[in-house]
Amino acid sequence: MTHGMIVAPQPEAVEAGALVLRRGGNAVDAAIACALVQGVVDPQMTGIAGFGSLHLYLPRKGVHTFIDFHGRAPAAATPGMWEDLIEGETRDGFGFILKGRVNDVGYQSITVPGSLKAYFEAQTEFGTMAWRDIVRPAIEHAERGFVVRPHVHRFWTRIEGMGRVEMPQRFAHTPAGRRIYLDTAGAPHAPGTCVRNSDMARTLHRIAEHGADIFYSGEIAEEIAADMARNGGLLSYDDLKNYRTTRVDPLWGSYRGCSIATNKPPGGGIMLLEMLNILENFDLAALGHNTPQYIRTVAEAMKRATSDKDRFIGDPAFVEVPVARLLDKRYARELAAAIESGERATVERLGAAESKDTTHVSVIDEAGNAVAMTHSLGMPSGVVTEGLGFMYNGCMGVFDPRPGRAGSIAPGKSRFSSIVPTITFKDEAPHLVIGAPGGTQIAMGVLQAILNVLDFGMPILDAVVAPRFSATSDLIDVSNRIPNFVTAALEAEGYRIARSYLSYAFAAVHGIKIENGRWTGAADPSHDGMALAV
């Protein structure tokens, strides 16, 4: 009997989750084991000091919910504390560049982390195995070391030139980071190098024994708070102790006869559903996949959803998000009519891309339980507390330093994130379990994979590997596999095109398709992962 299927960007993490399924664990057990290993073998993409959104569908228990664990601004943060430091905004509108990069790297860049609390709550409430057994694979990987894979090294050494602190400088920010991630010449470890992190292994041993409480109100919390206080951080012991995850029902939409369940703000599900609502008014299959007409139509939907996100979407505990209006099918028809008439949307920007320091896991098991979780460090802060081994998130960098806006800084507030762990349903049963890392491009990548399946009938592998594009500004960004003769036609219409040198770009979609009781999975080739059934 097949126990389940798991898909993620890291093969070591996929194997850990698959072994949990083989040992009788359910999809939740597998997803959390996978997530913990991801934090060891891809430690700048995610970790126990990150944030994310966990989509749980457990039909036999009557459970369909989200555990949202976005990072929150510490209590010491104030709306105008960085207003005088603004130098610019990233070109795709996700993050601000400040003098001294204080929001981007270092102790003030850290929001209150939610990942470990969410992992623990999900597994102990909905899993079937002992918590310590779920943590054990991550401990083993930390103790024996992980081999630096090509995508990890590419991420560690990339030079983006966006005005942010580059990854090698992040590693050098603390002595512990230098010791773990840099070689004797001060460069990130080369591909094939085995990186051991005994400090992280000891931290995970403590967490395996005492659960998440030790991190949020116990000894580890005290160690974190002391380090923050010594180095001018905003994060405090009380911030950790008072952190709570948020349980919310899915945000629902429909497309081509399928029901779409995704996350609520401050997650990116509302953008995904708005774009689908707009595009449902077009015969995309008749336009042809990735033709100039198709790219123009989808790009204009992307731009309109991006503009609405910028104006209206933030933490619903702090701003009133007009969800009903943004998801009204009549509103979508108005936007579609404007696109059809040739109107072009304009996306306002201050002037320089959200970091893609994120990962994802999709799982389904033999009982029909499905989990999609996207979790992240946002932008790694570069901070590693001596003796603890993990790097903290750097999510203060995506807050708007201008007071009075949907994304402005406020104590306890979470910032919008494009993460969209999504399940689509056909005939009331899961049809796609899908999500992606990729910063502000996440919603755009997941959108195109869903269109590829529902409009073009592609198998999940074809849907994931098909060339993608994105429009989160007035440019249309395209991957290098979209032919020049296609983009030339768009340029002739007056569109500005930015061609990526990458063949696989704009998020890294990982998904499972369920059809006629059969599972097929696909891992995006831009990363190193895999789909594995056991």
Q: How far apart are the first and last CA of the chain?
A: 9
Which residues touch 161 (CB under 8 Å, ≥6 apart)? none
CB atoms within 10 A of CB 252: 13
Strands 370-378 and 422-426: unpaired
Among residues 469, 8, 70, the alpha carbon closest in space to that of 268 is found at 70
Q: What are phi and psi of 202, to 5 degrees?
A: -65, -40
Instruction: Please give the distance of CA 325 from its chain centroid, rounded to a whole number.
Output: 25
How many residues comprise the chain?
534
**Residue 90 a catalytic site member:** no
CA distance 247 to 269: 15
- The residue annotated as part of the active site, out of 174, 262, 297, 358, is 358
User: How does DSSP classify residue 384?
Assistant: B
**Spatial contact of 48 and 215, defined as CB atoms under 8 Å apart:** yes
The DSSP string of 219-277 is HHHHHHHHHHHHTT-S--HHHHHH---EEEPPEEEEETTEEEEEPPTTSSHHHHHHHHH
**Spatial contact of 130 and 173, defined as CB atoms under 8 Å apart:** no
CA distance 141 to 125: 25
Give the tokens for residue 109: 């860049």
Among residues 56, 55, 43, 50, the alpha carbon closest in space to that of 70 is found at 50
Q: Is the dihedral of CA 336, 337, 339, 340 positive or negative?
A: positive
**Spatial contact of 245 and 118, defined as CB atoms under 8 Å apart:** yes
Give the tokens for residue 205: 């041993």
CA distance 199 to 201: 5
Which sequence positions are flagged as catalytic? 358
